């Protein structure tokens, strides 16, 4: 009898799964005894609408009941707010789930999906999870480029992901350019417009994608309640899509993929326009202020239309992004390192409360060795 060790047999995931680098959220801890200002996850400093909080709390006596599997009230509230047919809305556990469901429905082994160089990490993860091939289109000045995307289209292309505005750069494509992209794509290629930060954009030449979904059978727009609505903890996302796409998603999504308390809070949040307007006004004020103040310190800032800005640091030791991150963390100011986005010399700063914003500028001034005034 041979004494050679037997090969270990065990269930093995698909090879593409092992190519995935798991998504790592931004850190959220400060040194003991230091007040924490978490500016790493693009959360709103205004929190959730009081009406959404009350609606969530009112569901405490119904936790034993399954929620409405179709999220009917939430879809109707979204439809009323934007003038959309609720039948063409699908809700999910954050827009992340919608992105994954779209990939599962429209891509498979050997197919290709395109996204931009510094696009949301979930696109790559979603594609690899179904065995599809991630294809990267280069950007120009950290901004998506329609011609670069189109140059990557092949007969194997099934999907194009476009975050507009993009995270973590904060840049965007004007509506005319997105329309040019749609009109130039083959009809069988699904364009996914990820508009997670649409509510913050104040530019006249921007559009989230609603009109394009209404006109073209291969366009989907995804949105989230995690940003301006302040409901990140409840995981609520949605998409507006052609009927055929909604039909495909509803066949594969979980039967109760949005909780009842989330539905109730989402409805109340969607109806509280005053809270959203206050969040928009706060962001507009402090986005401009932080951009100016930090730029004056000699730190590069990418112009942003979202609720965050990308800061560029020098490459030399002691003045680089890693050093700045450590310096700020010691003061309880938690920013997002973005090396995973191929931006190792940058940090992403969420627009925070007035207190946090002022503290960040003061700390960065100290880090850069500049005196006040």
Give the pLDDT of residue 5. 58
Say what percent of the chain tops pLDDT 90.
88
Mean pLDDT of the chain, nearest integer: 95
Give the pLDDT of residue 205. 98
Answer yes or no: is pLDDT of 341 > 90. Answer: yes
Task: Summarize the confidence of residues 4-29 as an average pLDDT.
Answer: 76
Cis amide bond preceding 168, omega within 30:
yes
Answer yes or no: is pLDDT of 55 > 80. Answer: yes
Task: Summarize the confidence of residues 306-313 as an average pLDDT.
Answer: 98
Q: What is the Cα–Cα distance from 169 to 147, expressed in whole angstroms?
A: 19
pLDDT tens per residue, range 122-171: 999 999 999 999 999 999 999 999 999 999 999 999 999 999 999 999 99
Domains of the chain, first to last: 19-47+274-368 (3.90.1150.10), 50-271 (3.40.640.10)
pLDDT tens per residue, range 253-269: 999 999 999 999 999 99
- Provide the b/e sequence for 37-58 (b: ≥16 CB within 10 Å): bbbbbbbbbbebbebbbebbee
> Pick from 81, 88, 134, 127: which is nearest to 104 by CA?
127
pLDDT tens per residue, range 121-133: 999 999 999 999 9
Q: What is the Cα–Cα distance from 331 to 320, expressed in whole angstroms?
A: 17
pTM: 0.93
Q: What is the Cα–Cα distance from 70 to 91, expressed in whole angstroms?
A: 8
How does residue 220 score in pLDDT terms, banded at 50, 70 and 90?
very high
Give the pLDDT of residue 24. 75
Task: Summarize the confidence of residues 238-251 as an average pLDDT.
Answer: 98
Task: Summarize the confidence of residues 357-367 as an average pLDDT.
Answer: 98
Give the pLDDT of residue 33. 76
Token pair of 223 as six digits: 């949105």
pLDDT tens per residue, range 76-108: 999 999 999 999 999 999 999 999 999 999 999
């Amino acid at each position: 009898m041979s004494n050679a060790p037997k090969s270990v047999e065990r269930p093995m995931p698909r090879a593409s799964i092992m190519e995935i680098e798991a998504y790592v959220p931004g850190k959220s801890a400060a040194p003991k005894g230091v007040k924490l200002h978490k500016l790493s996850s693009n959360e709103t400093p205004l929190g959730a609408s009081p009406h959404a909080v009350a609606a969530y709390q009112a569901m405490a006596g119904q936790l034993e009941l399954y929620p409405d599997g179709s999220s009917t009230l939430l879809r109707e509230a979204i439809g009323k707010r934007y003038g959309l047919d609720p039948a063409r809305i699908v809700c999910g556990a954050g827009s992340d789930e919608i992105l994954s469901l779209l990939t599962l429905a429209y891509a498979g082994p050997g197919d290709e999906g395109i996204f931009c160089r510094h696009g949301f990490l979930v696109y790559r993860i979603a594609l690899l999870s179904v065995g599809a091939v991630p294809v990267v289109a280069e950007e120009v000045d950290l901004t998506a480029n329609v011609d670069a995307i189109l140059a990557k289209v092949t007969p194997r292309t099934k999907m194009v992901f476009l975050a507009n505005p993009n995270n973590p750069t904060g840049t965007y494509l004007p509506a005319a350019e997105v329309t040019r992209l749609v009109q130039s794509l083959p009809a069988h290629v699904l364009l996914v417009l990820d508009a997670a930060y649409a509510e913050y954009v104040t530019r006249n030449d921007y559009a989230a994608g609603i009109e394009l979904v209404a006109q073209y059978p291969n366009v989907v727009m995804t949105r989230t309640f995690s940003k301006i609505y302040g409901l990140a903890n409840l995981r609520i996302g949605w998409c507006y899509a052609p009927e055929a796409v909604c039909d495909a998603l509803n066949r594969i999504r979980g039967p109760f993929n949005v909780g009842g308390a989330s539905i109730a809070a989402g409805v109340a949040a969607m109806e509280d326009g005053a809270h959203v307007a206050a969040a928009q006004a706060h962001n507009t004020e402090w986005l401009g202020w932080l951009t100016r103040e930090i730029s004056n310190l000699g730190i590069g800032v990418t112009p942003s239309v979202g609720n965050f800005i990308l800061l560029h640091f020098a490459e030399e030791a002691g003045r680089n992004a890693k050093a700045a991150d450590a310096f700020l963390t010691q003061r309880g100011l938690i920013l997002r390192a973005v090396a995973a986005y191929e931006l190792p010399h940058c940090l992403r700063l969420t627009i925070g409360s007035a207190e946090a914003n002022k503290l960040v500028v003061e700390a960065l001034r100290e880090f850069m060795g500049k005196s006040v005034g």
